[in-house]
A and B are shown apart, each in its own frame.
Chain A
Amino acid sequence: MPDQSPISSVNDFVVRFANVNGSGSASANEMFARSILRHGVPVSPRNIFPSNIQGLPTWYEVRVTEQGHLGARGGVDMMVAMNPQTWDKDVASIEPGGYLFYDSTKPMPTSKFRADINVIGVPLTAITNSTYTDPRQRQLFKNIIYLGAMCALLDMDPKIVEQLIAEQYKGKEKLLSSNVHALHLGRDWALQNLKCPIGLQVKKADKVGDRIFMEGNSAAALGAVYGGATVCAWYPITPSSSVAEAFTSHCKKLRHDPKTGKAKYAIVQGEDELASIGMVIGASWNGARAFTATSGPGVSLMTEFIGLSYFAEIPGVIMNIQRAGPSTGMPTRTQQCDIIACAYASHGDTKHILLFPEDPAEAFEFAAQSFDLAERLQTMIFLMLDLDIGMNHRLCRPLKWDDSRQYDRGKVMTAEMLDEPGRDFGRYLDVDGDGIPYRTYPGTHPTKGSFFTRGTSRDRYARYSEEGAVYADNMQRLVRKFETAQDMVPRPLQANAAKPTKYGVIYFGSTSPSMDEAIGLLEAKGHHLDRLRIRAFPFHSSVASFIADHDFVYVVEQNRDGQLRQLIVNENGIDPVRLVPIVHYDGTPITARFIASAIADHQDHLKVTPLRKVKS
Chain B
Amino acid sequence: MPGLVPGIHDFLFLGQDVDGRDKPGHDEAGIAGVVMTYIAKPKFQHPGLPKNDLGFTHRDYEGKVSTLCAGCGHDSITASIIEACYELSIEPHRVAKISGIGCSSKTPDYFLGNSHGFNSVHGRMPSVLTGANLANRDLIYLGVSGDGDSASIGFGQFAHSIRRGVNMTYIVENNGVYGLTKGQFSATADRGSKSKKGVMNTDNAIDLVAIALQLGATFVARSFSGDKTQLVPLIAAAIRHKGASFIDVISPCIAFNNHAGSTKSFDYVREHNDAVNRLDVITGREAISVDYAPGTVQVVEQHDGTRLALRKLDADYDPHDRLGAMTFLQKHAAKGQVVTGLLYVDPDADDMHAHLDTVETPLNRLEAKDLCPGTSALEKINASLR
Interface assignment of B284: CB less than 8 Å from any CB of chain A: no
Q: How many A-B residue pairs have CB under 8 A?
A: 303
Choose among B14, B132, B366 the residue that contacts A285 (Cβ–Cβ < 8 A): B132
Report yes or no: B115 in contact with A442, Cβ–Cβ below 8 A: yes
Report yes or no: A278 in contact with B130, Cβ–Cβ below 8 A: yes
Interface assignment of B21: CB less than 8 Å from any CB of chain A: yes
| Interface positions of A from 439 to 476, Cβ below 8 Å from B | 440-447, 450-456, 459-461, 463-467, 469-470, 472-473, 476
Interface assignment of A424: CB less than 8 Å from any CB of chain B: yes
Which stretch (B73-81, B180-188, B272-280, B353-361) binds chain A? B353-361
Report yes or no: B157 in contact with A274, Cβ–Cβ below 8 A: yes
Given A230-B364, A288-B134, A541 contacting B359 (CB threshold 8 A): no
A417 to chain B: which residues have CB within 8 Å?
none
Interface assignment of B109: CB less than 8 Å from any CB of chain A: yes
Choose among A228, A443, A476 the residue that contacts B14 (Cβ–Cβ < 8 A): A476
Report yes or no: B131 in contact with A262, Cβ–Cβ below 8 A: no
CB closest residue in chain B, given A288: B135
Report yes or no: B132 in contact with A573, Cβ–Cβ below 8 A: no
Of B98, B121, B135, which is in contact with the most chain A CB atoms at under 10 Å from its CB? Answer: B135
How many angstroms between the C-alpha atoms of A455 and B353 in the bound complex? 28
**Count of interface residues, chain B, beta-carbon cutoff 8 Å:** 86
Choose among B37, B159, B359 the residue that contacts A263 (Cβ–Cβ < 8 A): B359
CB closest residue in chain A, given B7: A573
Choose among A255, A268, A290, A444 the residue that contacts B371 (Cβ–Cβ < 8 A): A255
A282 to chain B: which residues have CB within 8 Å?
98, 118, 120, 127-135
A283 to chain B: which residues have CB within 8 Å?
131-132, 134-135, 363-364
CB closest residue in chain A, given B157: A275
Interface assignment of B290: CB less than 8 Å from any CB of chain A: no
Choose among B6, B34, B135, B159 the residue that contacts A231 (Cβ–Cβ < 8 A): B135
Question: Smallest distance from the beta carbon of B94 to chain A beta carbons, Å?
Answer: 5
Interface assignment of A233: CB less than 8 Å from any CB of chain B: yes
B22 to chain A: which residues have CB within 8 Å?
459-461
Interface assignment of B160: CB less than 8 Å from any CB of chain A: yes
Interface assignment of B102: CB less than 8 Å from any CB of chain A: no
Interface assignment of A169: CB less than 8 Å from any CB of chain B: no
Interface assignment of A281: CB less than 8 Å from any CB of chain B: yes
Q: Mark A246-277, 1 if CB is under 8 A from B, else 0.
A: 00000000110100111111111011101111
Interface assignment of B226: CB less than 8 Å from any CB of chain A: no
A225 to chain B: which residues have CB within 8 Å?
371-373
Interface assignment of B298: CB less than 8 Å from any CB of chain A: no
Question: Smallest distance from the beta carbon of A42 to chain B beta carbons, Å?
Answer: 12
Report yes or no: A233 in contact with B7, Cβ–Cβ below 8 A: no
Interface assignment of B320: CB less than 8 Å from any CB of chain A: no
Of A231, A447, A450, A466, which is in contact with the most chain B CB atoms at under 10 Å from its CB? Answer: A450
| Interface positions of B from 111 to 160, Cβ below 8 Å from A | 113-121, 124, 126-136, 138-139, 156-157, 159-160
B136 to chain A: which residues have CB within 8 Å?
286-288, 441-443
Report yes or no: A230 in contact with B371, Cβ–Cβ below 8 A: yes
Report yes or no: A461 in contact with B357, Cβ–Cβ below 8 A: no
Question: Smallest distance from the beta carbon of B365 to chain A beta carbons, Å?
Answer: 8
Report yes or no: A547 in contact with B92, Cβ–Cβ below 8 A: no
How many angstroms between the C-alpha atoms of A447 and B27 in the bound complex? 11
Interface assignment of A116: CB less than 8 Å from any CB of chain B: no
Report yes or no: A467 in contact with B128, Cβ–Cβ below 8 A: no
Report yes or no: B14 in contact with A305, Cβ–Cβ below 8 A: no
How many angstroms between the C-alpha atoms of A233 and B132 in the bound complex? 12
Given A226-B373, A282-B129, A455-B121, A262 contacting B25 (CB threshold 8 A): no
B34 to chain A: which residues have CB within 8 Å?
467
How many angstroms between the C-alpha atoms of A459 and B88 in the bound complex? 33
A482 to chain B: which residues have CB within 8 Å?
8
Question: Smallest distance from the beta carbon of A429 to chain B beta carbons, Å?
Answer: 8
How many angstroms between the C-alpha atoms of A282 and B22 in the bound complex? 28
Which stretch (A100-108, A129-137, A399-407) binds chain B? A399-407
Report yes or no: B363 in contact with A230, Cβ–Cβ below 8 A: yes
Report yes or no: B8 in contact with A572, Cβ–Cβ below 8 A: yes
Question: Smallest distance from the beta carbon of A472 to chain B beta carbons, Å?
Answer: 5
How many angstroms between the C-alpha atoms of A254 and B113 in the bound complex? 40
Report yes or no: B366 in contact with A578, Cβ–Cβ below 8 A: no
Report yes or no: B156 in contact with A275, Cβ–Cβ below 8 A: yes
Report yes or no: A571 in contact with B7, Cβ–Cβ below 8 A: yes
A278 to chain B: which residues have CB within 8 Å?
120-121, 124, 126-128, 130-131, 157
A281 to chain B: which residues have CB within 8 Å?
120, 128, 131
A190 to chain B: which residues have CB within 8 Å?
none
Question: Smallest distance from the beta carbon of A43 to chain B beta carbons, Å?
Answer: 13
Given A230-B364, A263-B356, A544-B6, A453 contacting B371 (CB threshold 8 A): no
Report yes or no: B18 in contact with A279, Cβ–Cβ below 8 A: no
CB closest residue in chain B, given A468: B14
Given A230-B371, A541-B6, A544-B6, A451 contacting B378 (CB threshold 8 A): no
Choose among A280, A406, A445 the residue that contacts B368 (Cβ–Cβ < 8 A): A406
Report yes or no: A443 in contact with B368, Cβ–Cβ below 8 A: no
How many angstroms between the C-alpha atoms of A266 and B37 in the bound complex? 39
Report yes or no: B117 in contact with A443, Cβ–Cβ below 8 A: no
Report yes or no: A286 in contact with B358, Cβ–Cβ below 8 A: no
Interface assignment of B5: CB less than 8 Å from any CB of chain A: yes
Report yes or no: A401 in contact with B374, Cβ–Cβ below 8 A: yes
Interface assignment of B164: CB less than 8 Å from any CB of chain A: yes
CB closest residue in chain B, given A574: B3
B18 to chain A: which residues have CB within 8 Å?
459-460, 467, 469-470, 473
Given A263-B359, A288-B136, A548 contacting B124 (CB threshold 8 A): no
| Interface positions of B from 1 to 45, Cβ below 8 Å from A | 1-11, 14, 16-18, 21-26, 28, 34-35, 37-38
Question: Smallest distance from the beta carbon of B3 to chain A beta carbons, Å?
Answer: 4
B360 to chain A: which residues have CB within 8 Å?
260, 262
B156 to chain A: which residues have CB within 8 Å?
271-272, 275
Q: Given A212-B385, A278-B131, A282-B118, 18 more contacts at CB 8 Å?
A: A208-B386, A228-B372, A230-B135, A264-B370, A274-B127, A280-B131, A281-B131, A282-B131, A282-B132, A286-B139, A399-B382, A443-B116, A447-B93, A461-B24, A461-B28, A469-B16, A541-B6, A570-B7
Residues on B lying within 8 angstroms of A by beta carbon are: 1-11, 14, 16-18, 21-26, 28, 34-35, 37-38, 91-94, 96, 98, 108-109, 113-121, 124, 126-136, 138-139, 156-157, 159-160, 164, 353, 356-360, 363-368, 370-375, 377-378, 381-382, 385-386
